[in-house]
């Protein structure tokens, strides 16, 4: 039996804790004051119907009430195109494993569940941004570098 389960509203604080673990890995000493403002919306998303948002987690084996790993993704619609005529694509974000629970296959198991969730819903492809440390995991799962340039505007 897989240790992976779908995250529930009661997991929201732990989901945010693990998201901060991921953020800290990319930007040490980043602020944490955003978490309280994010908590209500995250609880609603985790409690809501199975729409375009999914989080899969593994409970920490040594710390009851804590999560060991987390993978979150969204299903997005964009006008269809080559490789995804239906217009659906998956986007993976907030992949994190608690530092004391790493190297046990938890992130991979969570990713497998999220990828299955995307497939069941008809996503034509899946996108993510990989840290250098995580890139080997994603490459082993079949992800390839995307040559499409990306730009961003903060509003």
In a domain, residue 28? The reply is: yes
pLDDT in tens, 16-31: 999 999 998 888 888 8
19: buried, middle or exposed (CB in 10 Å: 19+, 13-18, 0-12)?
buried
Mean pLDDT confidence for 49-68: 94
What is the predicted pLDDT for the residue at 56? 98
In a domain, residue 148? The reply is: no
> pLDDT band for position 83 (50/70/90)?
low
* Domain extent for 107: 4-140
In a domain, residue 155? The reply is: no
Total domains in the chain come to: 1
Phi, then psi, of 14 in degrees rounded to 5: -70, -35
Mean pLDDT confidence for 119-143: 89
- CB-CB neighbours of 79 under 10 Å: 7
Mean pLDDT confidence for 102-116: 96
Q: For residue 84, what is the domain's CATH number?
A: 3.40.630.30
Chain-centre distance of CA 71, in angstroms? 3
What is the predicted pLDDT for the residue at 25? 85
What is the predicted pLDDT for the residue at 151? 64
The candidate with the shortest Cα–Cα distance to 107, out of 98, 116, 119, 118, is: 98
In a domain, residue 75? The reply is: yes
Res. 150: pLDDT tops 80: no
Res. 1: pLDDT tops 80: no
Percent of the chain at pLDDT exceeding 70: 96
Mean pLDDT confidence for 34-51: 92
In a domain, residue 127? The reply is: yes
Average pLDDT, the chain: 90
In a domain, residue 10? The reply is: yes
In a domain, residue 85? The reply is: yes
pTM: 0.90
- CB-CB neighbours of 154 under 10 Å: 3
């Amino acid at each position: 039996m897989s240790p992976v389960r779908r995250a529930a509203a009661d997991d929201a604080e732990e989901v945010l804790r693990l998201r901060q673990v991921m953020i800290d890995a990319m930007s040490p000493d980043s602020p944490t004051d955003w978490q309280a403002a994010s908590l209500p919306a995250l609880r609603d998303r985790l409690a809501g119907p199975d729409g375009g948002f999914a989080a899969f987690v593994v409970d920490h084996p040594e710390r009851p009430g804590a999560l060991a790993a987390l993978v979150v993704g969204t299903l997005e619609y964009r006008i269809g195109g080559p490789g995804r005529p239906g217009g659906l694509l998956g986007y993976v974000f907030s992949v994190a494993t608690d530092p004391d629970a790493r190297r046990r296959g938890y992130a991979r198991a969570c990713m497998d569940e999220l990828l299955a969730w995307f497939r069941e819903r008809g996503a034509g492809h899946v996108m993510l941004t990989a840290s250098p440390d995580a890139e080997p995991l994603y490459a082993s799962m079949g992800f390839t570098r995307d040559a499409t340039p990306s730009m961003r505007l903060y509003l």
